Structure 1
Amino acid sequence: MDTQPLRIGIAGLNGRVGRLLAEEVPAGGALLVGGTTRDGAPVTGIDCPVYADISDLAPQCDVVIDFTHVATVETHAIALTLAGTAWVLGTTGLSTREQQAVDTTARRIAVVQAANFSPGVTLVTRLARQMGAALPGSDYDAEILEMHHRQKVDAPSGTALAMGRAVAEGRGIRLEEHIESGRDGHTGPRTDGAIGFAALRGGQIVGEHSVIFTSSHEQISLTHRSFDRRVYATGAVRAAQWLRTRPPGLYDMEDVLGLKQPTR
């Protein structure tokens, strides 16, 4: 058994989550060996080597935790594959091409990819899948409501889309073919079997998500509220520690939490 501390690098060290990760990595018993910033400049209050290029960080690490931007995904995939370094990826909003790069990388290294690393969100998403399977779209309208801070630039959020995708998986359909988002004006009646999304923005709300199923006779709601971004950092460190002994493959937080039945 390897008794050496896990060597973790942080892509986007000066980001909101990156700064929290710099605290949570040593708190979790791992070794923070470095991070990246856009210009390679040091980050005030964080004492570790800083690089401008992921290719310089990756060989120093057992795992890189990455909460950066979709524009970096393909570059990071190549660098981590070449270094043989595992990847915890929390970047959302990936295009088909960028997701294909992640899928290809996971054939060579171990990757945990999640829209949200909160254990609570993981459980709500799992329940949304089960409810989607049990509550057919012909009888139950499914809506996803999310609210975030006023600076958030994408909508619906990656977490909201993951929850909607879970409902679709439960129903055996593709979200892309049933999504209704951004309703405005005279839209006509709700489409049967649609999965709807509503996005609210305001203040400094970290994240609130609700999955709502409504029929003619009842309504069931699942709601998760994040009070502190630190929950994402601690979840990501937990994922990095879990990856230490895993073979190449694409994993998610349900794997990390031990919620999936092992395949035979």
Structure 2
Amino acid sequence: MSLRVAISGCSGRMGRMLIEAVVGSADCQLHGALARPDSPTLGQDASAFLGKNSGVLVTADLHQALSGADVLIDFTRPEGTLAHLTVCRELGVNAVIGTTGFDAQQKALIGAHAGHIGIMMAPNMSVGVNVVLRLLNLAARSLNEGYDIEIIEAHHRHKVDAPSGTALQMGEVVAKALGRDLKACAVYGREGVTGERDPSTIGFATVRGGDIVGDHTVLFAGTGERIEISHKSSSRVTYAQGSLRAARFLASHPAGLYDMNDVLGLNA
């Protein structure tokens, strides 16, 4: 039986990539396509941009898109995602969340929903990025003295949050491995006479421009050497395929809050 997938933000760049991945999958079927009430795509076939007819019309009606679905894949905005989760919980629909920019209170609400449905939430669905996070844990524990740590990320001009959720997750992994609190040691910008660098800090630098899909580098700069661990995305297809992998994972697991480590078996 095919996994019935609903996609929110279906008319955006990531939404279209997800639709293409679902339509091209052997074990998934497009079940619902959500867009904003002001979207010009409302009422159109969700896969029309591919020159195909899926039989699924784009709608702004949450219940219409989610009724009968097995899972929602959501890459939108925090407020929209939380509204979608409320209906997912009501209808018993699992959720894969790639949205970033949640605050602590919003994350707590997601945790509460996860007591009733399966939720896989990660700031980056790329398999490669999640392997890099494991490498960063090892590097940080090994390079815990004498190395300054900087995180540099670059994304397209349309991205609205900074630093990226992936960059922040990288910082959290490194800080935890070093026994530090990222909130206390992060530096998000430097300007003017800043004084000598505090070796206990973790710096972040953000680049926004063009159509950059997503580049992340963590720099460990020591005396006489530097180590750089990087991941560069050339296409959103890696996020789409990772999202489908997460959706399949939720289909065989009970309600709860999961991350990509769970999906990839890295927590075992």
Task: Pick the TM interval, shorter chain.
Answer: over 0.9
Shift of 1:218: 2.5
Alignment match, 2:225 = 218
**Alignment CA distance shift 1:126-1:53 (3 Å):** farther
1:124 paired residue number: 132
Pick one of 183, 188, 198 that aligns with 2:190: 183
1:7-156 matches, cutoff 5 A: 7-28=4-25, 29-39=27-37, 41=42, 42=44, 43=46, 44-45=48-49, 47=54, 48-136=56-144, 138-156=145-163
Q: Structure 2 matches for 1:153-164, cutoff 5 A?
A: 153-164=160-171
Q: Which runs of 5+ in 2 are unaligned?
A: none
Q: Identify if the C-alpha distance between structure 1 residues 254 and 82 changes in structure 2 by more than 3 Å, giving closer, same or farther.
A: same
Give the structure-1-normalised TM-score.
Answer: 0.92
Question: How far 1:135 sits from its partner (Å)?
Answer: 2.0
Deviates more, 1:82-91 or 1:196-205: 196-205
Task: Give the superposition deviation at 1:25.
Answer: 0.9
Q: 4+ residue runs of structure 1 moved beyond 6 angstroms?
A: none
Unaligned runs of 5+ in 1: none
**Match for 1:84: what amino acid?**
G
Matched-pair identity in %: 42
TM-score, reference length from structure 2: 0.91
Q: Would you say the 8 A contact 2:74–2:81 is kept in 1?
A: no
Q: Is the 1:145–1:211 Cα contact (8 Å) retained in structure 2?
A: yes
Residues 11 and 54 of structure 1 are in contact (CA less than 8 Å); yes or no, is this contact kept in structure 2?
no
Q: CA RMSD in A?
A: 1.5
Deviation at 1:77, TM superposition (A): 2.1
Partner of 1:243: 250
Between the two proteins, the alignment pairs up a number of residues equal to 257
1:192 alignment partner in structure 2: 199
Q: Is the contact made by 1:132 and 1:169 (CA closer than 8 Å) also made in structure 2?
A: no
Secondary structure in 2 aligned to 1:60? coil
Counterpart Cα distance in 2 of 1:257 and 1:89: 16
* Aligned-partner residue type, residue 210 of structure 1: T
8 A Cα contact 2:125 2:243, kept in partner: yes
